[in-house]
Amino acid sequence: MILNVNVGILGHVDSGKTSLSKALSTVASTAAFDKNPQSQKRGITLDLGFSSFTVDGNIPSHLAPAEAIQVTLVDCPGHASLIRTIICGAHIIDLMLLVVDVNKGFQTQTAECLVIGELTCEALLVVLNKIDLILPEKRDERISKMKVRIAKTLESTKFKNAPIVALSAVQSDRLAEGDFSRGMEELVEALLSVLPDPRPRCKYLSSLPFLFAVDHCFSVSGQGTVLTGTVLRGCVRTNETVEIPQYKLKKKIKSMQMFRKPIDAIHPGDRAGICIAQLDSSLMERGFLAAPDSLATCQACLLSEVRKIAYFKGPVRSKSRFHVSIGQDTVLARITCLRLIGGCQQQGQTKEEFEYAEELSDEGKSKTYLGIKPQTTLITLKL
């Protein structure tokens, strides 16, 4: 059995994320390595890029038994204006590679990516890139100082003991012989050591209705329309019917591929291309495929256990409008805060009582009722 894991490559613009992805990958997929003409013209990543490599030896014990591990790399943009695309990539990954320019340290988007990682990822690995730009006689000292600085930054996060690997993502005559390959080997070894086993979560997700996050859509002459993306939950096979919820269209799957290899079925966490006949590829770029009639249209929803991100210093007030990222989409929503004011026991069950609140309260400032800690205010979203 080949175990697939999804690893996101995030960091500040021009920290070397795409170069690192290219150095690690053996198979390129959708939009990999800045294929987009605009990306090449501007010299920055503008869209999610996907590629992969396979590890078939020295598999750590916590990931055994597995014949091999297929690592799907999700190369995310670093520019501030593309934060929604970054969030879109972050919600489908198991581990984050946070790329840091060793000469500049943490920058604005580095910090933002760290916040996103705390919300979406189980594990983190920091990559200190561009060590070839440091003079050899000063390299070790610079790397050591930067590792200490980053470790101190991570102390206040859930990634307190995250490994830090220093390397150059490109071959350079400034590197000693073998330094490039040693850096890559150390990175892969560190990645495997902290990579969480996705199988327990995938086992549960497999029992749920099929949901597939589409990130690219294009037509193939003589075949049909291909939708590439990641399975969020459930399973599907060729010749089964799926729905495009936003258009209420139901279509049969003609064929599927995973990194250019034909397959008959896909499962949670898998990166795949799904070919559907008689579908206009211009209808969608991002969105979802789902099991027929499994998704409901919603105009409002209730969020529980809501906490304000520690780094956000402004108030979160009722009646304010916020951008809400849901899967591949970002929509505007008006929020209403509700605060727990009490509760009572009815027929052996706890019934909570809430009241309107002007803003989201800070954690730990309210009383506790019936063992319930009300520091997590409820929020209603009107989309």
For residue 45, CA distances in Å to 37, 103, 291 come to 10, 21, 33
Judge whether residue 98 has pLDDT over 80: yes
Lowest mean pLDDT among 76-80, 126-130, 268-272, 323-327: 76-80
Buried b (16+ CB within 10 A) or exposed e, 13-22: bbbbbbbbbb
pLDDT band at 38 (very low <50, low <70, confident <90, very high): very low
Tens of pLDDT, residue by residue over 325-347, are 877 678 899 999 988 877 666 66
Which pair of tokens denotes residue 55? 């590890």
Q: What is the mean pLDDT of residues 149-165?
A: 95
Closest CA to 48 of 276, 230, 255: 230
Q: What is the mean pLDDT of residues 200-227?
A: 93
Q: Is the distance from CB of 288 to CB of 213 less than 8 angstroms? A: yes
Closest CA to 201 of 103, 269, 302: 269
Residue 363: the pLDDT is: 54
Q: Is the distance from CB of 206 to CB of 235 less than 8 angstroms? A: yes
What is the CATH topology of the domain spanning 206-290? Elongation Factor Tu (Ef-tu); domain 3 (2.40.30)
Peptide bond into 65 cis (omega under 30): yes
Per-chain mean pLDDT for the chain: 86
Residue 269: the pLDDT is: 92
Residue 342: the pLDDT is: 74
Tens of pLDDT, residue by residue over 246-258, are 899 999 999 999 9
Q: Does residue 376 or residue 92 have the better pLDDT?
A: 92
| Rounded-to-integer distance, Cα 259 and Cα 275, Å | 13
pLDDT band at 272 (very low <50, low <70, confident <90, very high): very high
Highest mean pLDDT among 85-99, 217-231, 317-331: 217-231
Tell me which amino acid residue 194 is: V
Which pair of tokens denotes residue 71? 């690592």
Give me the residues paired with residue 230 across strands.
Answer: 213, 271
Percentage with pLDDT > 90 across the chain: 55
* Domain ranges (residues) in the chain: 2-197, 206-290, 300-382
Residue 33: the pLDDT is: 54
Q: Under CATH, domain 2-197 is a member of which superfamily? A: P-loop containing nucleotide triphosphate hydrolases (3.40.50.300)
